[in-house]
């Protein structure tokens, strides 16, 4: 099997660092792309965001994917209409900002609460998500942008989007060319355990447009660099090769090294180590 994708890293660990330093680090790690997030850019003006993207683009690095808002106020399945509509407005604004910076995929948390779906009702979540997508998908079409719904941690119970069957229900209810999924490997392990973690991969595969790669011990979302936890990476990379996934795949962790200001060599080593995990999976 052949590796068909490149790598990116998420920009949050670089918060507070000068733009040029971030660019030089990413160039040193030979990254063609980064994964943006509203948390990094929330204090930037539109002009500053566009300037940031241009500097990176001129330096050979694209902002390919972008993590849309996921604070408590950004719940697109809220049962309170005031909250839900406000969330939709903010997320649409950040879709537009992300598109201006060159991103074509936005990662969306389908809820920002930890309520148990068995108590609140799956149909109620699907109803609210449908209302939000009815507003967001036309904007996505206009922007030539894809919304990628991410699988979530289980919180204290059966949180919405923390089970593979929730994604089956989304496929059945919301099929759209501008809607896909983002597999978060760390979330999947914590939510389903090692025996069922890859059930998310199986359900999502026809609609996968993004990956967030993170490792952990299975007990919490510790965001360890790939290979430093209990995630079984072989099925992930084999499936990506099988479907010829061709976008940058985001390593959503800092390096496994002293921080918080990680040296450029640490980022380069993380990319090299993740590439070795993929090579092993594809040639074993």
CATH number for position 142: 3.20.20.150
- Does residue 34 sit within a domain? yes
The domain in which residue 174 lies consists of 6-283
Verdict on whether the full-model pTM lies above 0.95: yes
- Does residue 146 sit within a domain? yes
Contact status, residue 154 vs residue 188, Cβ threshold 8 Å: no
Q: Which residues pair with 251 in a beta bridge?
A: 9, 213
What pLDDT, on the 0 to 100 scale, is given for residue 259?
87
3-state secondary structure of 186: helix
Phi, psi (degrees; rounded to nearest 5) at 63: -90, 105
- Does residue 207 sit within a domain? yes
What pLDDT, on the 0 to 100 scale, is given for residue 243?
97
What pLDDT, on the 0 to 100 scale, is given for residue 157?
78
- Does residue 1 sit within a domain? no
Measure the CA–CA gap between 267 and 26, rounded to whole angstroms: 8
Cis before residue 260, ω within 30 degrees of 0? Answer: yes
What pLDDT, on the 0 to 100 scale, is given for residue 258?
94
- Does residue 209 sit within a domain? yes
- Does residue 111 sit within a domain? yes
- Does residue 235 sit within a domain? yes
- Copy the structure tokens of residue 159: 């949180």
What pLDDT, on the 0 to 100 scale, is given for residue 156?
81
- Does residue 134 sit within a domain? yes
DSSP structural state of residue 269: H
Name 259's Cβ contacts closer than 8 Å, sequence gap at least 6: 13
Tally of domains in the chain: 1
Measure the CA–CA gap between 126 and 221, rounded to whole angstroms: 25
Q: What is the pLDDT along the chain (284 residues), one digit of tens a residue?
A: 999 999 999 999 999 999 999 999 999 999 999 999 999 999 999 999 999 999 999 999 999 999 999 999 999 999 999 999 999 999 999 999 999 999 999 999 999 999 999 999 999 999 999 999 999 999 999 999 999 999 999 988 799 999 999 999 999 999 999 999 999 999 999 999 999 999 999 999 999 999 999 999 999 999 999 999 999 999 999 999 999 999 999 999 999 999 899 999 999 999 999 999 999 999 97
Q: Which residue has the tokens 């148990």?
A: 116
Contact status, residue 185 vs residue 211, Cβ threshold 8 Å: yes
């Amino acid at each position: 099997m052949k590796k068909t994708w490149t790598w990116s890293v998420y920009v949050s660990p670089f918060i507070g660092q000068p733009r040029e330093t971030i660019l030089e680090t990413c160039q040193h790690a030979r990254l063609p792309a980064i994964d943006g997030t509203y948390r990094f850019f929330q204090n930037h003006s539109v002009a500053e965001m566009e300037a940031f993207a241009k500097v990176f683009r001129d330096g050979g690095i694209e902002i390919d994917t972008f993590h849309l808002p996921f604070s408590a106020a950004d719940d697109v399945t809220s049962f309170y209409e005031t909250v839900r509509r406000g969330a939709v407005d903010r997320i649409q604004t950040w879709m537009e900002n992300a598109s201006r910076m060159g991103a074509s995929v936005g990662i969306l948390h389908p809820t920002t609460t930890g309520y148990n779906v068995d108590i609140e009702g799956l149909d109620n979540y699907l109803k609210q998500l449908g209302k939000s997508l009815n507003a967001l998908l036309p904007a996505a079409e206009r922007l030539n942008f894809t919304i990628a719904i991410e699988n979530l941690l289980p919180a204290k119970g059966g949180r919405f989007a923390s089970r593979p069957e929730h994604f089956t229900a989304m496929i059945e209810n919301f099929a759209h060319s501008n809607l896909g999924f983002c597999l978060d490997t760390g979330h999947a392990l914590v939510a389903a355990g090692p025996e069922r973690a890859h059930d998310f991969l199986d359900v999502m595969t026809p609609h996968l447009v993004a990956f967030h790669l993170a490792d952990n011990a299975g007990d919490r979302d510790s965001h360890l660099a790939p290979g430093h936890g209990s995630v079984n990476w072989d099925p992930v990379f084999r499936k990506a090769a099988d479907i010829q996934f061709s976008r940058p795949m985001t390593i959503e962790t800092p390096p496994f090294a002293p921080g918080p200001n990680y040296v450029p060599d640490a980022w380069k080593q993380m990319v090299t180590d993740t590439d070795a995990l993929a090579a092993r999976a594809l040639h074993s």
